Chain A
């Protein structure tokens, strides 16, 4: 089963441990799709991958999607589709979202300048994951693209991005706000009442700990974003609907190292639990099979025993790499443990990809090395 099957209208989301090469593979697949099919393709990356931007002929990737000049590729002839590329910048994406959703410039301004907001948009754990989903939803809703390729933020809590929209809704919704203040239905929004701070002893202690005005300021912030709640909620639902669609495919990327491999298994499990459509797995940075060549191994073992220094060094180096080759081989033998079909593999590239042809080559290796 070739990866090409999944280069079709819809959404393609790449998951995997940090450092397995998600961004490069995302860019490669997007370029291949746009070269071969009459599709408008968008690729959105998470890493500030300057070299990849350069490889696609862009000075840098930013929040705004920019067209990639596919004519620069010599490899695949005339491009049939179009490609745009962008990167997720958490802070500016948040500002954009608030400006759009706040319901008026004055309201937006009030949120954007609030000290809590400033901290939240930059540092809030999960804000990155949330905004990635938000951007994906936005792109899809715009109807401008046939295929959207997205790599996911590196995070130890593998599938934060799946949970982020719900968590955000929870945060903005009733819970905390209700606990702190009643942006009252009776008194109008201006009349924020700190209803219980002095009434409940717990709140008194909390207020004390947090230093006087903090809780008041926090509630003011929550009141100011309360208007966004409806928007957040419906968009979160939209995101889940989009993620669960049959035309949305997830790819799990791994290298043949223990930690990323285990994490890939975890991804598969969680995605399946969440009912997402898993296209399959891709193995990246595979070591060459000559490292396990029996005749060469015998030769190397002989040469380390008794030979001039250079030949011994050659043999020692081979045997050292052979250990890694063996690890590769062992994990490859366990690839079924992942529980999803293997769609292809890419050999380890020593020199980084630096142009469109390089990206196309990665994609071709992926297709041919299945």
Chain B
């Protein structure tokens, strides 16, 4: 398994990174941090938010974006998927539907997309494909595309949709385009799916479940795992045993004799140690079941999730935990 540093290099060497995970585990913050790292290394990065209400721009202290990409930071641009705009672009740019029939056709297709499974989803993955292919000034417009992807519950149907659609619609431009998108998504040289989790029970179970469903229902193999929000190391590893003694009954007595007001410090240490040991256990489970190269990210004790937070997180990711 590669060292964290190599793993990060490997990931940033792809064309497309897609992040997924249970809600609340830090998909968006990690998308922002990865984009920032790549940009700091001189890449031109596009962040695509699959959710129209995505908040990645918040992590660059800038206002929300729409379907047209906009600069978020030096080297980082962003856009968010908007159903109407993306249908129009899909029809006109990707399927090359002539302008005069666009408007009535769009209405029809929006309606049809409720019934043809995969059609809505392919607007998202189709857009990723389109931007991956986009050229500006004689070279690819983006060095790297980071996708703040769908949560675990929806990502399988979203990523699998292109392949399914190609089977359901057996000829014609939609079929051809769906195939190309599906091929890009399953091409491990170009695309890496990154599973993000925290070391808590439900997100871990969901991540394992997700990996199983990806294997069963798609030809996409996850490339890496990010374990976010781990308890940071408060002491050097060789001092850990001594630290643990502090919160035992005798250790407490000694500390409280010196600092009678110090009980909350001991309780907070106890909370941290118990959280750690839960996390250790879950990380073992993850390691054994998923066998994925892993980046670990320490918990960032910061109040606000603005650019300062993103910068701290990026640094933590680069250090690999």
Contact = CB atoms under 8 A, between A and B. Distances in A.
A47 B114 CA distance: 25
A361 to B, nearest CB: 16
B104 to A, nearest CB: 5
Q: Is the interface of B mostly helix, strand, loop or mixed?
A: helix
A202 B101 contact: yes
A205 B105 contact: yes
Given A179-B108, A209-B95, A316-B234, A350 B278 contact: yes
A221 B112 CA distance: 13
Interface in B37-77: 51, 53
B170 A19 contact: no
A276 interface: no
Interface string A36-69: 0000000000011111000000000000000000
A145 interface: no
Contacts of A170: 114
A309 B274 CA distance: 21
What are the 8 tightest A-B residue pairs by CB atom distance, in nearest-first order? A18-B23, A211-B172, A19-B24, A119-B117, A123-B157, A296-B264, A211-B171, A295-B261
Contacts of A20: 24
B115 A116 contact: yes
A171 interface: yes
A351 B277 CA distance: 10
Contact of B101 (A51, A167, A201): A201
A60 B243 CA distance: 40
A154 B23 CA distance: 8
Contact of A115 (B23, B104, B168, B209): B168
Nearest to B51: A156
A210 B105 contact: no
Q: Is the interface of A mostly helix, strand, loop or mixed?
A: helix
A300 interface: yes
Given A290-B264, A296-B263, A323-B302, A313 B234 contact: yes
Contact of A19 (B23, B112, B157, B305): B23
A175 interface: yes
Contact of B112 (A206, A310, A318): A206
A222 interface: yes
Interface string B248-281: 0000000100010111111111011011001000
Interface stretch (B136-144, B187-195, B198-206): B198-206
Interface of A: 17-20, 23, 47-51, 115-116, 119-120, 122-125, 128, 153-156, 167, 170-171, 175-176, 179, 201-203, 205-206, 208-214, 218, 221-222, 257-260, 288, 290-291, 293, 295-296, 298-300, 303, 309-311, 313-318, 320-324, 326-327, 350-352
A211 B167 CA distance: 11
Nearest to A119: B117
Contacts of B311: none
A156 to B, nearest CB: 6
A48 B116 contact: no
B121 to A, nearest CB: 8
Contact of B153 (A153, A203, A222, A320): A153
Contacts of A49: 202, 205
B288 interface: no
A296 B161 contact: no
A296 B265 contact: yes
Nearest to B177: A209
A260 B265 contact: no
Contact of B303 (A310, A315, A326): A326
B272 A175 contact: no
6 contacts: A17-B24, A19-B24, A119-B168, A176-B114, A209-B95, A351-B274
A101 to B, nearest CB: 18
A209 B274 CA distance: 58
Contacts of B271: 288, 321, 350
Contact of A260 (B24, B118, B303): B24
B310 to A, nearest CB: 15
Interface in B166-225: 167-175, 201-203, 205-206, 209
A94 B39 CA distance: 46
Given A49-B202, A214-B168, A176 B112 contact: yes
A208 B173 CA distance: 8
A117 to B, nearest CB: 9
Contacts of B170: 211-214
B308 interface: no
Contacts of A288: 267, 271
A291 B264 contact: yes
Contacts of A124: 117
Given A296-B264, A309-B239, A212 B172 contact: yes
Nearest to B259: A299
Contact of B242 (A18, A51, A221, A310): A310
B169 A214 contact: yes
B290 interface: no
Contacts of B117: 116, 119-120, 123-124
A323 B303 contact: yes
A208 B305 CA distance: 48
B275 A258 contact: no
B22 to A, nearest CB: 6
Given A116-B168, A171-B115, 11 more contacts: A17-B24, A19-B22, A119-B118, A120-B117, A123-B160, A167-B114, A257-B24, A259-B24, A314-B255, A320-B301, A350-B274
Contacts of B111: 175-176, 179
Nearest to A260: B24
Contacts of B154: 125
Contacts of A176: 111-112, 114-115
A47 B174 contact: no
A257 B172 CA distance: 48
Contacts of A317: 234, 265, 268-269, 272
Interface string B225-248: 000000010111001001100100
B116 A218 contact: yes
Given A122-B157, A176-B115, A309 B302 contact: no
Contact of A210 (B174, B209, B234): B174
B61 to A, nearest CB: 15
